[in-house]
Chain A
Amino acid sequence: MLKKTLLFVLFSLNLQAQGLPFLPVQDGGRLKPFDTFARESLKLVFGSTTYRPMNKNGASKKEAWEVVFTWMLVPQEWEKTPFFLIRHSGVREYLKLDKKRLYYSPQEIQENERLPLLMQELQTKRSQREKLNPFYQAAQTLENQLLLFHAIAMGAAIRVLPQRTRDSWLAVNELQGEWQERFQKITSAFVKSIQKEGGPKNSVLLEQAVSSFIKEAQKIFPKKYADMAKIRLEVHYNSFHPFMWAWIVLLVGFLFLVFSLLSEKSSWTYKSAWGFSLLGMALMIYGMGIRVFLAGRPPVSNMYETVIWVSFGTLLFGMILEKIYKYKIILLAAQVVSILCLIISDLSPAVLDPSLQPLQPVLRDTFWLTTHVLIITLSYAAFFLAFLLGDLVLVYYLISEERFKDRIKQGVQMIYRAMQIGVVLVAAGTILGGIWADYSWGRFWGWDPKETWAFITLMGYLAVLHARLIGLIRELGMAVSAVLAFSLVLMAWYGVNFVLGAGLHTYGFGAGGVEYVAGFVILHVLFVTYVLSYRHFRKKQEMMR
Chain B
Amino acid sequence: MSVFQQLARRYKGKTWPEKILKFMGSLELAVLIIISISVIAAIGTFVEARYGATYAQKKVYHSPYMYFVLGLLVINLIQAMVDRWPWKKRHTGFVLAHIGILILLFGAWLTRYYGIDGSLALDIGQTGSHVTLNDTEVSFYSQDVQNNEYHLLLRKPVDFLVYPPGPFKYEFQVQDLFLRVVDFAPFALPEFRVQRTTHAADGPALRVQLESSRFNFSRWLVLKSPTEIKKLNLGPATLVFHNKQYQWKGGNVLVFQPISDSHQIKYEIYSRRKGGLVKKGVALPGDEVLTGWMDMKLRFLNFYPHAKEEAEYKILERPTPLTTSALKYQFKDEEHWLGVNSSATLFTNKKSYLFAYHNQRLPLGFKIKLLRFQMDRYQGTQMAASYASDVLVDGRWKVRISMNNPLKYKGYTFYQASFTSDESGRPTSSIFSVNKDPGRPIKNLGSFLIVLGIIMLFYFKKYYKTGRKDA
Contact A445 B108 (CB under 8 A): yes
Cβ of A324 under 8 Å from chain B: no
B444 interface residue per 8 A CB criterion: yes
The verdict on A467 contacting B31 (CB below 8 Å), with A423-B454, A444-B440, A459-B41 known, is: yes
**Chain A contacts with B in 416-432, Cβ cutoff 8 A:** 420, 423-424, 427-428, 431
CB of B287 to closest CB in A, whole Å: 25
Contacts of B385 in A (CB 8 A): 29, 358, 361, 364
Given known pairs A423-B454, A435-B444, the reply for A459 and B381 (CB within 8 Å) is: no
Determine whether B450 belongs to the interface, using a CB cutoff of 8 Å to chain A: yes
Is B383 within 8 A of A358, CB to CB? yes
Stretch of A51-59, A330-338, A347-355, A446-454 that contacts chain B:
A446-454
> For residues 195 through 254 of chain B, which have their beta carbon under 8 Å from a beta carbon of chain A?
213-216
Of the residues B215, B322, B417, B444, contact of A128 by C-beta under 8 Å: B322
A2-33 vs B, Cβ < 8 Å mask (1 yes, 0 no): 00000000000000000000000011111100
Q: Does B258 contact A (CB under 8 A)?
A: no
Interface residue A469 (Cβ < 8 Å from any Cβ of B):
yes
Q: Which of A94-102, A188-196, A496-504 contacts B (4 or more CB under 8 A)?
A: A496-504
Q: A154 an interface residue at 8 Å Cβ cutoff?
A: no
Interface residues of A in 440-495 (CB under 8 A from B): 440-449, 452-453, 455-456, 459-460, 462-463, 466-467, 469-472
The minimal Cβ–Cβ distance linking B461 to chain A, given in whole angstroms, is 11
B57 adjacent to chain A (CB < 8 Å): yes
Q: Please, which residues of chain A bring their CB within 8 A of the CB of B214? A: 116
Give A485-525 interface residues, CB cut-off 8 Å to B. 496, 500-501, 503-504
Contacts of B45 in A (CB 8 A): 449, 452-453, 456, 496, 500
CA–CA, A488 to B322, complex, Å?
A: 33
A77 within 8 A of B: no
Q: Which of B36-69 contact A (CB under 8 A)?
A: 37-38, 41-42, 44-46, 48-50, 53, 56-57, 61
The count of chain B contact residues (Cβ–Cβ below 8 Å) is 65
Contact B3 A472 (CB under 8 A): yes
> What are the residues of chain A within 8 A of B322 when measuring CB–CB?
128-129
Per-residue interface assignment for chain A, residues 147 to 172, with 1 indicating a CB less than 8 Å from any chain B CB and 0 otherwise? 00000000000010000000111000
Contact with B along A357-381 (1 / 0, CB 8 A): 0100110111000000000000000
Interface residues of A in 393-434 (CB under 8 A from B): 420, 423-424, 427-428, 431, 434
Chain A residues with CB under 8 Å of B153's CB are none
Distance, CA A187 to CA B50, complexed state (A): 53
Contacts A29-B380, A169-B380, A443-B435 given: A364-B386 contact, CB under 8 Å?
A: yes
Let me know if A60 is at the binding interface, CB within 8 A: no
Report chain A residues within 8 Å CB of B6.
Answer: 471-472
Complex contact B451–A504 (CB within 8 A): no
Task: Indicate if B415 sits at the interface (CB-CB under 8 A).
Answer: yes
Q: Does A120 contact B (CB under 8 A)?
A: yes
Instruction: Return the chain B residue nearest A366 by Cβ.
Output: B404
Answer yes or no: A293 CB below 8 A from chain B CBs: no
Does A534 have its Cβ within 8 Å of any Cβ on chain B? no
Q: Which of B404-425 contact A (CB under 8 A)?
A: 404, 406, 413, 415, 417
Contact of B378 among A30, A431, A471 (CB under 8 A): A30
In the complex, A455→B34 CA distance in Å? 11
Q: How far is the CB of B440 from chain A (nearest CB, A)?
A: 7
Q: Smallest CB–CB gap between A28 and chain B, Å? A: 7
Choose from B380, B435, B450 the contact partner of A427 (Cβ within 8 Å). B450
| Cβ contact within 8 Å between B471 and A471 | yes
**CB closest residue in chain B, given A31:** B379
Chain B residue with minimal CB distance to A500?
B49
Judge if B387 is at the interface, Cβ distance under 8 Å: yes
A467, B85: Cα distance in complex, Å: 22
* CA of A447 to CA of B440, assembled, Å: 17
**Any chain B CB within 8 A of the CB of A542?**
no
Which residue of A is nearest B458, CB measured? Answer: A420
- Whether B320 pairs with A361 at a CB distance below 8 angstroms is no
Are A455 and B384 touching (Cβ within 8 A)? no
CB contact under 8 A between A456 and B380, given known A130-B320, A366-B404, A434-B447:
no
Closest Cβ–Cβ distance, residue B293 to chain A (whole Å): 18
Residues of chain B within 8 A (CB-CB) of A496 are 45
Whether a CB of chain A sits under 8 angstroms from the CB of B343 is no
- Per the bound structure, the CA–CA distance linking A452 and B47 in Å amounts to 12
A131 to B321, CA, bound (A): 9
Q: Which of B425-456 contact A (CB under 8 A)?
A: 433-435, 437, 439-440, 443-444, 447, 450-451, 454-455
Q: Does A325 sit at the interface, judged by CB under 8 A?
A: no
Which chain A residue has the least Cβ–Cβ distance from B10?
A470
Query: Is the CB–CB distance between A447 and B48 below 8 Å?
Result: yes
Residues of A within 8 A of B437 (CB): 438, 442, 444
CB distance from A504 to the nearest CB of B (A): 6
| Given A361-B387, A361-B403, A441-B417, A447:B379 Cβ within 8 A | no
Taking the complex as formed, is A259 at the interface, i.e. its CB lies under 8 A from any CB of chain B? no
Report the bound CA distance from A453 to B437 in whole Å: 24
- Which residue of the partner chain A has the closest CB to B60? A447
A530 at the binding interface (Cβ < 8 Å): no
How many whole Å from A456's CB to the nearest CB in chain B? Answer: 5
Q: Does B20 contact A (CB under 8 A)?
A: no
Q: Indicate the member of A428, A442, A469 with the most B CB atoms within 10 Å.
A: A442
Whether, in the assembled complex, B30 has its beta carbon less than 8 Å from a beta carbon of chain A, the answer is: yes
Q: Within 8 Å CB of B37, what residues of A? A: 459
User: A423 CA to B459 CA in the complex, in Å?
Assistant: 12
CB distance from A541 to the nearest CB of B (A): 20
Report chain B residues within 8 Å CB of A443. Answer: 117, 433, 435
Q: Is the CB of A463 within 8 A of B31?
A: yes
Is residue A439 within 8 Å, beta carbon to beta carbon, of the partner chain? yes
| Complex-state Cα separation, A431 to B448, whole angstroms | 9
Interface membership of B35, Cβ < 8 A: yes
What residues of A have a CB within 8 angstroms of the CB of B35 in the complex? 459, 463
Q: Which of A434, A460, A472 lies in contact with B38, CB distance below 8 A?
A: A460
Contacts of A503 in B (CB 8 A): 49-50
**Looking at B41, B380, B381, B458, which has the most chain A CB atoms within 10 Å of its CB?**
B380
Q: Are B447 and A431 in contact (CB under 8 A)?
A: yes
In-complex Cβ contact of A504 among B26, B50, B450 (8 A): B50
Q: Which residues from A are CB-within-8-Å of B144?
A: none
CB distance from A511 to the nearest CB of B (A): 13
**Taking CB as reference atom, which chain A residue is nearest B214?**
A116
Whether A472 lies near B451 (C-beta < 8 A) is no
Chain B residues whose CB sits within 8 angstroms of the CB of A428 once the complex forms: 451
Q: For the complex, give the distance between the alpha carbons of A332 and B387 in Å.
A: 48
Cβ B458 vs Cβ A424 within 8 A: yes
Contacts of A130 in B (CB 8 A): 320
Inter-subunit contact A442/B379 (CB<8 Å): no
Chain A residues near B27: list those with CB within 8 A. Answer: 466-467, 469-470
- Of the candidates B34, B46, B48, B379, the one whose C-beta lies within 8 Å of that of A459 is B34
Q: Is the CB of A427 within 8 A of B386?
A: no
Docked pose: A205 CA to B300 CA in angstroms:
59
Asked if B38 contacts A361 (CB within 8 A), the reply is no
Greatest chain A CB density within 10 A among B117, B404, B439, B443 is at: B404
Q: Which chain A residues border B413 with CB–CB below 8 Å?
A: 442
B228 to chain A, nearest CB (A): 23
| Given known contacts A358-B385, A456-B41, A449 and B380 CB-to-CB distance under 8 angstroms | no
Does B28 have its Cβ within 8 Å of any Cβ on chain A?
yes
| Listed A/B pairs (25) with beta-carbon separation below 8 Å | A28-B381, A29-B377, A29-B381, A31-B379, A116-B213, A129-B320, A159-B380, A168-B379, A168-B380, A361-B386, A420-B459, A423-B458, A424-B454, A439-B404, A440-B403, A444-B443, A447-B41, A447-B48, A453-B42, A462-B34, A463-B31, A466-B27, A469-B27, A500-B45, A500-B49
- Taking A361-B387, A362-B403, A428-B451 as known contacts, 6 extra A-B pairs with beta carbons closer than 8 A to each other, sorted by chain A number, are A167-B379, A365-B404, A440-B404, A459-B34, A472-B31, A500-B49
